[in-house]
C-alpha cells in the first residue's frame, strides 16, 4: 500500500520528471473550457448547459484520479497534479462569478473589511454582521491589500482568497503524505478531498471559512510532521506552528474547533497506540494550549460566538424534541439535493459507496497501518462521517451536515483512499483491479458535486431569480444599495427581502432586519402597521417588484416562517408590494423600474 | 495567483474590461491611481509579503529537510499569518491599521526575521538539508501541451466574458428625489441615472396636484451618466410627484417618485 515513501535520493532523477502532467494539464483546460461553455450556454438559456457543466467537471477530475491511482508515479507529478486540480477548480469558480462577490455572506465580509478601512481598527461592532467582525483575519488581510495597492475591497478580497489556493492544496497533499507515508495515498486522498461538496464553490468564496481552512490544514501538517518525525524534540511545536494556529483562531470559529478536535483525537489514539506497544507522541500539551487560546479568544474578544451558535443548534434540538414528544410534525425529512432525480441517485450512490468502503476496509487498513498513528487518527476521525449522514436525517440538519463536509472530508478522504487501494489489493483480475477503485472514486466525486454547494438551481449562472442567493445577484440591487449608501446616514434599520438584504448591508451601510417583515404580507397599511414600523425603528423600505414575477428558489422571500414559506406555488401578489403607494407617511424617493425605495416619515402616528 | 493573473487580464483585455464595466460592483478603488497602477502596487505588496513570509519561516522553523512544495506553502501562509498577527498588534495603537502602519510593520518583520534567519544560517554548523536537485525533464512536447492548455483557458475566459457582455441585461434608469441637505423642506434634489447600455434622451417633469411645476430637458445621458438638479419648492405643500419620460412619445412615465411637502 505504501508503495512510495517520502522521496529518497536514489530515485531523484525519476522524481523530477513531470510524467503525465503536461497532457493532463491539457485535459484539465479542456474541462475548464467546457465549463465556460456551460456557463455561457446557461446565461443564454440553452438547455444543454447542465450537461456541459457535468462533462467539463468529469473531464477535469477523471484523468487526474486515474493517474493518481496508478503506481509508479513520481512525487513531483502527484503533487503537481493535486495543484493542477485545485487551480482548475478555482478557475471554474472564477468563471461563475468573474468580477464580483455573489454569495450573500461575501457582502457581509466586504462590509466588515470596509469598516476596518474606514475606522482603522478591528472589531467594529455592527449588528447585521453578527460575529464576523470578531473573527477578522480575512478582513485584516483584505484591508492591508486594499490600502496598500489601492484596489477595491472586492478585488483585494478575491486576490487574498485566490492566493491561498496553492497553500490549501499543497498543505493537503503534505498532510496526507506525512500521516500515511505514501505519495500515492496522498495523491488519491487529495483528489477525493477536492470532491467534497463545498470545495468547488463555497471554500473559494470571500468568506472566513475559505480563509481559515488552508491554515488549519497547514497547521495539521506541521503538527503531524513534528509528531511523526524521528529526532523531533520539544514538548510543543515551534513558533511557526503557533502563528499559523493563531491565524486559524482569529479567522474562523468552527475551523479552530475542528483543529483542536482533530488534535484531541490524535492525542487519544496516540495514548492507545502507546498502550499497544507502538511508538507515538500524544500532542496533549499542544491540544490543551490551543484549547486555552480558543477559549481566551471567545471569552475576551468574541463572547457573542456562543449565542451565535445557540440559534441553529437550538433549532435542530427543538425540532428533535418536538418530534420525540409528538408535539411537532416532521416537515422536512431526509433532505435530498434539489434538482433532477439523477442527481439524487448520484448523491445516494456516493454515500453508499463511502459507507461501504469505509466500513468494509476499516479493519484491514487499521491492521495494515498499525505503525502509522496519523493514519489511525484519520480512520477514527473519518467515522464522524456516519454522524454527519445521521444529521442529514434530522429535520433541518441538512445545512449543518453540509457545512461540516470540508472538515470531515479531511480524514475521510485518506480513509477512502486507503480503502480503495486495499480493495485493489484483494481483487484478482487486472481490469477489475484498475476499474473498481476508479469507478468508486468517480462515484464519490460526482456524488459530492451533486450534493454540493450551491443548490442545483444556482449551479449555473443565469437570469435573476428573486430572493435566491447567488441567482439574485444583479446590478440593479447593487446600484440601489449604493444609492442608499451615498444619500442616507448608515446603520438605519431597513426592511427588505433576502435578495436585497446583503447589498443593503454592504453597499448601503444600513441594518436590514426581518423583525417587521410580516408587514409585507398584510394586504393594507393601517395605523397599527405604521406604529409597528416606528417600534422597529424602520427608516427605509426597499421593495423589489420582481418578487411578483417569480418564486424564490430558497422557499421564502423575507423570512423562513413567513406565510406559505416552502409551499408557495405562486409569486407574491403584486398588490402586496404596491400597497405602500397609498400611505401618506411614506415617500417614494427612488425608482429604478424593479426596485422602489420608500422613506418612513415621523416617529409615531 | 490565478486570481491575480485574471485581474491583470481584466485590466489588459478590452472585452473583459467591457464585461467588467457592465457588472462591476459599486465599490470604488480604495486608493488613487489607474487600475494598472493598482496592480503594479499589488505586485510590489505581494513580493513584500512573500519575502517576509519566506524569512519568517526560515527564522522559525526547525532545521529539517524541506519537502518539495513545502516552502511555497509555508512562505505564502507565513506572510499572510504575519499580516493577521500584525493587524492584531497595530490595533493596539491609536493610529491603528493605516497603510503606513502596515508598511512599517512589514518592513520591521522582514528586518527582524531576516536577521534571525541569517544568524541561524551563519551559526549552524550543519545547514538545513536540501532536497535533491536534478534536471527537470521538460521536453518541447511538454511545453506545447502547456501552451495549448493556456490558450484553451484563455479561450474559456473569452467565451465566459462574451456571454456576460451579451446577456448583461441589467439595463435600467434611476430616478430619485430627496430633500436637499436631508431635512430641508424648501429645496428638493432630483436625480436621474442612466444605466442602460446606450445613450438615452429624457424629459423630467415635476407636478403638484396634477399641475406641472417645472420640466427639465431634453437631457442626453450617456451610459453610466447622472444628472442632478436642485428644485426650489419653498412655500408649497402637498405631495410633489416627479417623473421621467421619453420626449416626443405618448408613452407613460418611465419612472415616478414622490415627496410630501409641508409634513414632518
Which residues of chain B neighbour A605 with C-beta distances below 8 Å?
A: none
Contact A558, A550 (CB under 8 A): no
Q: What is the pTM of this model?
A: 0.89
CA–CA gap between residue B236 and residue A446 (Å, rounded): 67
Task: For A12-39, write each residue's pLDDT tens digit.
Answer: 445 557 889 999 999 999 999 999 999 9
**Higher-confidence residue: B178 or B252?**
B178
The residue-averaged pLDDT of A58-78 equals 94
Which residues of chain B neighbour A215 with C-beta distances below 8 Å?
A: 77, 80-81
Q: Count CB atoms within 10 A of the CB of residue A318.
A: 13
> How confident is the model at residue A605, as a pLDDT?
39
Mean pLDDT of chain A: 87
Which residues of chain A neighbour B161 with C-beta distances below 8 Å?
A: 98
> How confident is the model at residue A542, as a pLDDT?
95
Q: Is a pLDDT exceeding 80 seen at residue A91?
A: yes
The residue-averaged pLDDT of A115-141 equals 90
B 37-76 near A (Cβ less than 8 A): 37-39, 41-42, 45-46, 56-57, 60-62, 64, 67-70, 72-74, 76
Of the pLDDT bands very low, low, confident and very high (cuts 50, 70, 90), residue A335 is very low
- C-alpha separations of A243 from A174, B79, B106, B184 in Å: 19, 11, 15, 54
Nearest-by-Cβ selection for B77 from A91, A244, A593 = A244
Q: Is a pLDDT exceeding 90 seen at residue A192?
A: yes
> How confident is the model at residue A393, as a pLDDT?
78
Which residues of chain A neighbour B166 with C-beta distances below 8 Å?
A: 43-44
Quote the percentage of chain B above a pLDDT of 70.
79
Q: Is a pLDDT exceeding 60 seen at residue B8?
A: no
> How confident is the model at residue B168, as a pLDDT?
66
> How confident is the model at residue A493, as a pLDDT?
92
CA–CA gap between residue A99 and residue B20 (Å, rounded): 6
**DSSP string across B141-169:** HHHHHHHHHHHHHHHHHHHHHHHHHHH--
Q: Is a pLDDT exceeding 70 seen at residue A422?
A: yes
> How confident is the model at residue B188, as a pLDDT?
92
Q: How far is CA A263 from the centre of its chain?
A: 22
Q: Which of A456-460, B26-30, B145-149, B190-194 has the lowest mean pLDDT?
A: B26-30
Q: Which of A59-68, A388-397, B52-61, B129-138 has the lowest mean pLDDT?
A: B129-138
**Which cell numbers in the block locate residue A391?**
444529521
- Nearest chain A residue (CA) to B156: A33
> How confident is the model at residue A40, as a pLDDT?
93
Kind and range of the H or E element at A588?
strand A586-591
> How confident is the model at residue A321, as a pLDDT?
66
Closest to A255 in 3D by CA, of A193, A304, A211: A211
Of the pLDDT bands very low, low, confident and very high (cuts 50, 70, 90), residue B253 is very high
Q: Is the peptide bond before A454 cis (omega within 30 degrees of 0)?
A: yes
> How confident is the model at residue B169, as a pLDDT?
56
Task: For A570-594, write each residue's pLDDT tens digit.
Answer: 899 999 999 998 888 899 999 999 9
The residue-averaged pLDDT of B89-109 equals 93
CA–CA gap between residue A407 and residue A540 (Å, rounded): 40
Q: Is a pLDDT exceeding 70 seen at residue B132?
A: no
**DSSP string across chain B:** -HHHHHHHHHHH-HHHHHHHHHH--S---SSSS-HHHHHHHHHHHHHHHHHHHHHHHHHHS-S-PPPTTHHHHHHHHHHHHHHHHHHHHHTTSTT-S-HHHHHHHHHHHHHHHHHHHHHHHHH-SSPPPPPP----B--HHHHHHHHHHHHHHHHHHHHHHHHHHHH----EEEEEEEETTTT-SSEEEEEEEEESSS-EEEEEEEEETTEEEEEEEEEEE-TT-EEEEEEE-TT--EEEEEEEE-TT-----SEEEEEEET--
Task: For A500-520, write each residue's pLDDT tens digit.
Answer: 999 999 889 899 888 888 888
> How confident is the model at residue B167, as a pLDDT?
78
Contacts for B104-109 with beta carbons within 8 Å, 24 or more apart?
A: B106/B48, B106/B49, B106/B52, B106/B82, B107/B48, B109/B52, B109/B56, B109/B82
Quote the percentage of chain B above a pLDDT of 90.
47
Put simply, the answer to whether A601 touches B260 (Cβ < 8 Å) is yes
**Higher-confidence residue: B239 or A314?**
B239
Minimal C-alpha gap between A363 and chain B (Å)? 31
Put simply, the answer to whether B148 touches A26 (Cβ < 8 Å) is yes
Q: Is a pLDDT exceeding 60 seen at residue A56?
A: yes
> How confident is the model at residue A325, as a pLDDT?
64
- Radius of gyration (Cα) for chain A, nearest Å? 26
> How confident is the model at residue A596, as a pLDDT?
96
> How confident is the model at residue A233, as a pLDDT?
64
For residue A247, how many C-alpha atoms fall within 13 Å in the half-sphere facing its CB? 31
**Higher-confidence residue: A556 or A415?**
A415
- At A35 the three-state DSSP class reads helix
> How confident is the model at residue A1, as a pLDDT?
40
**Which cell numbers in the block locate residue B9?**
487580464
Q: Which of A48-62, A332-346, B247-261 has the lowest mean pLDDT?
A: A332-346
Task: For A466-503, write each residue's pLDDT tens digit.
Answer: 887 777 777 888 899 999 998 998 889 999 999 999 99
**Which cell numbers in the block locate residue A295?**
477559549
Q: Is a pLDDT exceeding 60 seen at residue B103?
A: yes
Put simply, the answer to whether B73 touches A95 (Cβ < 8 Å) is no
Put simply, the answer to whether A226 touches B62 (Cβ < 8 Å) is yes
DSSP type of residue A207: S
Tell me the residue ranges of DSSP E strands in A217-259.
none
Which residues of chain A neighbour B135 with C-beta distances below 8 Å?
A: 13, 16
- Nearest chain B residue (CA) to A301: B88
Kind and range of the H or E element at A561?
none
Q: Is a pLDDT exceeding 80 seen at residue A602?
A: no
> How confident is the model at residue A342, as a pLDDT?
82
Which residues of chain A neighbour B37 with C-beta distances below 8 Å?
A: 150
CA–CA gap between residue A525 and residue A514 (Å, rounded): 18
The residue-averaged pLDDT of B9-35 equals 58
CA–CA gap between residue B70 and residue B65 (Å, rounded): 10
- At A74 the three-state DSSP class reads coil
Of the pLDDT bands very low, low, confident and very high (cuts 50, 70, 90), residue A98 is confident
**Which cell numbers in the block locate residue A547?**
418578487
CA–CA gap between residue A208 and residue A211 (Å, rounded): 5
> How confident is the model at residue A327, as a pLDDT?
54
Kind and range of the H or E element at A224?
helix A208-228
Put simply, the answer to whether B80 touches A141 (Cβ < 8 Å) is yes
The residue-averaged pLDDT of B189-205 equals 91
- At A541 the three-state DSSP class reads strand
> How confident is the model at residue B114, as a pLDDT?
93
Minimal C-alpha gap between B80 and chain A (Å)? 7
CA–CA gap between residue B61 and residue B70 (Å, rounded): 12
DSSP type of residue A200: T
Q: Which of A118-127, A426-435, B178-187 has the highest mean pLDDT?
A: A118-127
Q: Is a pLDDT exceeding 70 seen at residue A215?
A: yes
The residue-averaged pLDDT of A255-266 equals 96
Put simply, the answer to whether B69 touches A173 (Cβ < 8 Å) is yes
Put simply, the answer to whether A30 touches B62 (Cβ < 8 Å) is no
Which residues of chain B neighbour A116 with C-beta distances below 8 Å?
A: 97
Q: Is a pLDDT exceeding 80 seen at residue B137?
A: no
> How confident is the model at residue A259, as a pLDDT?
97
Task: For A350-371, write each residue's pLDDT tens digit.
Answer: 999 999 999 999 999 988 888 8
Amino acid at each position: 500500500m505504501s508503495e512510495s515513501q517520502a522521496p529518497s535520493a536514489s530515485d531523484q532523477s525519476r522524481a523530477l520528471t513531470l510524467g503525465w502532467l503536461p497532457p493532463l494539464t491539457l485535459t484539465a483546460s479542456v474541462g475548464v473550457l467546457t465549463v465556460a461553455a456551460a456557463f455561457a450556454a446557461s446565461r443564454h438559456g440553452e438547455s444543454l448547459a447542465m450537461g456541459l457543466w457535468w462533462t467539463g467537471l468529469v473531464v477535469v477530475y477523471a484523468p487526474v484520479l486515474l493517474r493518481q491511482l496508478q503506481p509508479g508515479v513520481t512525487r513531483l507529478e502527484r503533487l503537481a497534479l493535486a495543484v493542477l486540480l485545485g487551480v482548475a477548480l478555482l478557475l471554474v469558480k472564477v468563471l461563475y462569478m468573474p468580477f464580483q462577490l455573489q454569495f450573500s455572506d461575501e457582502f457581509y465580509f466586504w462590509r466588515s473589511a470596509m469598516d476596518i478601512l474606514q475606522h482603522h481598527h478591528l472589531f467594529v461592532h455592527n449588528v447585521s454582521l453578527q460575529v464576523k467582525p470578531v473573527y477578522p483575519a480575512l478582513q485584516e488581510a483584505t484591508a492591508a491589500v486594499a490600502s496598500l495597492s489601492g484596489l477595491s475591497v472586492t478585488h483585494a478580497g478575491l486576490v487574498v482568497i485566490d492566493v491561498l489556493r496553492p497553500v490549501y492544496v499543497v498543505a493537503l497533499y503534505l498532510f496526507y503524505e506525512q500521516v500515511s507515508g505514501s505519495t500515492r495515498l496522498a495523491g488519491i486522498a487529495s483528489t477525493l478531498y477536492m470532491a467534497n461538496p463545498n470545495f468547488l464553490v463555497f471554500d473559494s468564496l470571500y468568506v472566513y471559512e475559505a480563509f481559515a481552512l488552508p491554515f488549519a490544514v497547514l497547521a495539521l501538517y506541521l503538527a503531524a510532521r513534528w509528531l511523526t518525525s524521528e529526532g523531533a524534540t520539544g514538548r510543543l511545536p515551534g513558533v511557526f506552528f503557533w502563528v499559523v494556529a493563531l491565524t486559524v483562531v482569529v479567522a474562523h470559529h468552527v475551523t479552530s474547533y475542528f483543529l483542536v478536535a482533530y488534535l484531541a483525537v490524535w492525542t487519544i489514539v496516540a495514548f492507545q497506540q502507546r498502550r499497544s506497544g507502538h511508538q507515538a507522541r500524544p500532542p496533549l500539551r499542544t491540544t490543551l494550549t490551543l484549547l486555552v487560546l480558543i477559549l481566551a479568544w471567545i471569552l475576551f474578544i468574541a463572547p457573542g460566538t456562543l449565542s451565535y451558535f445557540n440559534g441553529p443548534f437550538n433549532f435542530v434540538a427543538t425540532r428533535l424534541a418536538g418530534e420525540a414528544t409528538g408535539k411537532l410534525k416532521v416537515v422536512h425529512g431526509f433532505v435530498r439535493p434539489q434538482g433532477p432525480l439523477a442527481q439524487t441517485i448520484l448523491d445516494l450512490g456516493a454515500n453508499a459507496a463511502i459507507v461501504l468502503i469505509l466500513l468494509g476496509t476499516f479493519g484491514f487498513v487499521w491492521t495494515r497501518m498499525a505503525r502509522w498513528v496519523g493514519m489511525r487518527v484519520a480512520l477514527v476521525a473519518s467515522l464522524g462521517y456516519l454522524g454527519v449522514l445521521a444529521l442529514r436525517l434530522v429535520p433541518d440538519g441538512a445545512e449543518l451536515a453540509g457545512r461540516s463536509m470540508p472538515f470531515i472530508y479531511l480524514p475521510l478522504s485518506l480513509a477512502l483512499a486507503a480503502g480503495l487501494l486495499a480493495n485493489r489489493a484483494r481483487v484478482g483480475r487486472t481490469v477489475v483491479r484498475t476499474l473498481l477503485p476508479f469507478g468508486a472514486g468517480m462515484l464519490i466525486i460526482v456524488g459530492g458535486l451533486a450534493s454540493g454547494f450551491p443548490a442545483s438551481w444556482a449551479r449555473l449562472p443565469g437570469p435573476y431569480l428573486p430572493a435566491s442567493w447567488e441567482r439574485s445577484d444583479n446590478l440593479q440591487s447593487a446600484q440601489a444599495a449604493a444609492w442608499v449608501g451615498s444619500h442616507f446616514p448608515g446603520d438605519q434599520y431597513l426592511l427588505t427581502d433576502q435578495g436585497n438584504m446583503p447589498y443593503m448591508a454592504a453597499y448601503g451601510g444600513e441594518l436590514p432586519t426581518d423583525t417587521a417583515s410580516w408587514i409585507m404580507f398584510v394586504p393594507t397599511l393601517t395605523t397599527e402597521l405604521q406604529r409597528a414600523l416606528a417600534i422597529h425603528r424602520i427608516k427605509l423600505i426597499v421593495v423589489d417588484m420582481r418578487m411578483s414575477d417569480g418564486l424564490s428558489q430558497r422557499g421564502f422571500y423575507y423570512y423562513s416562517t413567513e406565510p406559505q414559506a416552502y409551499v408557495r406555488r405562486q409569486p407574491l401578489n403584486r398588490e402586496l408590494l404596491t400597497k405602500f403607494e397609498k400611505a401618506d407617511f411614506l415617500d417614494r424617493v427612488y425608482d429604478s423600474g424593479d426596485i422602489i425605495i420608500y422613506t418612513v416619515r415621523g416617529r409615531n402616528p | 495567483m490565478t486570481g491575480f493573473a485574471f485581474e491583470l487580464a481584466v485590466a489588459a483585455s478590452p472585452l473583459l474590461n467591457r464585461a467588467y464595466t457592465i457588472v462591476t460592483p459599486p465599490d470604488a478603488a480604495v486608493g488613487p491611481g489607474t487600475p494598472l497602477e493598482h496592480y503594479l502596487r499589488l505586485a510590489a505588496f505581494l513580493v513584500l509579503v512573500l519575502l517576509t513570509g519566506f524569512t519568517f519561516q526560515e527564522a522559525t522553523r526547525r532545521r529539517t529537510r524541506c519537502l518539495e512544495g513545502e516552502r511555497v506553502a509555508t512562505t505564502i501562509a507565513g506572510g499572510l499569518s504575519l499580516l493577521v498577527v500584525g493587524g492584531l498588534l497595530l490595533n493596539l495603537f491609536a493610529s491603528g491599521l493605516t497603510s503606513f502602519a502596515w508598511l512599517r510593520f512589514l518592513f520591521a518583520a522582514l528586518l527582524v526575521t531576516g536577521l534571525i534567519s541569517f544568524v541561524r544560517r551563519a551559526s549552524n554548523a550543519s545547514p538545513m538539508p536540501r532536497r535533491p536537485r536534478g534536471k527537470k525533464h521538460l521536453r518541447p512536447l511538454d511545453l506545447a501541451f502547456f501552451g495549448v492548455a493556456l490558450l484553451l483557458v484563455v479561450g474559456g475566459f473569452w467565451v465566459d466574458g462574451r456571454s456576460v457582455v451579451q446577456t448583461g441585461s441589467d439595463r435600467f434608469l434611476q430616478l430619485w428625489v430627496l430633500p436637499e441637505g436631508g431635512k430641508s423642506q424648501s429645496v428638493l434634489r432630483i436625480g436621474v441615472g442612466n444605466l442602460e447600455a446606450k445613450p438615452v434622451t429624457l424629459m423630467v417633469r415635476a407636478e403638484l396636484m396634477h399641475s406641472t411645476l417645472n420640466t427639465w430637458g431634453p437631457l442626453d445621458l450617456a451610459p453610466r451618466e447622472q444628472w442632478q438638479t436642485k428644485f426650489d419648492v419653498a412655500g408649497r405643500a402637498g405631495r410633489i410627484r416627479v417623473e421621467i419620460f421619453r420626449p416626443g412619445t405618448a408613452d407613460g412615465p418611465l419612472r415616478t417618485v414622490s415627496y410630501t411637502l409641508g409634513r414632518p
